[in-house]
Amino acid sequence: QELSINNNDDDNRSTLRACLGACFEVGNAQAAHDIWNTTFSFLNRKDEGDDETATPRTPPPPSPNDFSTLVATYCRSSDSKWWRKAWTVLVEDAPKQLLQRHEAASSGDDEYNNNMVLYVPVDAYNALLHRLDQEHKWKEAIQLLHIMDHQQQQQKPSSSVQNHQQQQRHPFPTVATYRLVIETCIHANQGEQAFQILQTMMKKPPTIFVKPTG
């Protein structure tokens, strides 16, 4: 069934989220992919009969949660091509598009708040890590963890919370993130790598690792 498109951004966003949610429930990655591409390509076309100076209709920019649902749906598929697409979304597409959305808001060209968070929720990254575990892709799991962790080391402690959000392109890893990477290494018979990740985790602030007492 073709996605219904109109000129109301709220309706379009609600329709997109409902369709993506339905695809997630049944694990239909191809349908989610098609719906996403239809939404963000069809809406940029000019209507038939428009002259060359007409302003094309533009879709409501995808939000971090929209990207998260798309990635989670990709990761429910057993076809390995979809986790690769999920990787591309998280590492390349989403950071770029969310930054563009922020810049548009800052310049007054976008109706959305320019204080928005510029990264996809960590749950999407954890969903991809779970899929990487199933594929025994321990190198990719470690690489994704490093991508998330590296930016935390680069941020200046004196920066404000708002500046932190504007600098970030990925969420910081959580305890669940580290656990998934460690499990991926163990399941791939990479015990030494798992131990190194555990040591790294133990050096993190109390929000990540709390040393047992007693």
Token readout for 13 is 């966003």
Residue with tokens 């597409």: 93
The predicted structure's pLDDT at residue 151: 65
**CB contact at 8 A, 184 and 144:** no
Query: How far is 177 from 193, CA to CA, in rounded Å?
Result: 15
Who contacts 86 (Cβ-Cβ below 8 Å, separation ≥6)? Answer: 71, 74, 75, 124, 127, 128, 131
Region of 108 (left: φ > 0; alpha: ψ -120 to 50; beta: rest) is left
Q: Which of 13, 79, 11, 69 is nearest to 40 (CA)?
A: 13
The predicted structure's pLDDT at residue 150: 80
Residue with tokens 């719906």: 35
Task: Supply angle C-alpha 113, 117, 118, rounded to 5.
Answer: 105
Per-residue pLDDT of the chain (214 residues; tens, 9 = 90+): 444 444 455 666 788 899 999 999 999 999 999 999 988 774 444 444 555 555 555 556 788 999 999 999 999 999 999 999 999 999 999 999 888 877 766 665 555 555 567 899 999 999 999 999 999 999 999 999 999 988 655 554 444 444 444 567 899 999 999 999 999 999 999 999 999 999 988 887 655 655 555 5
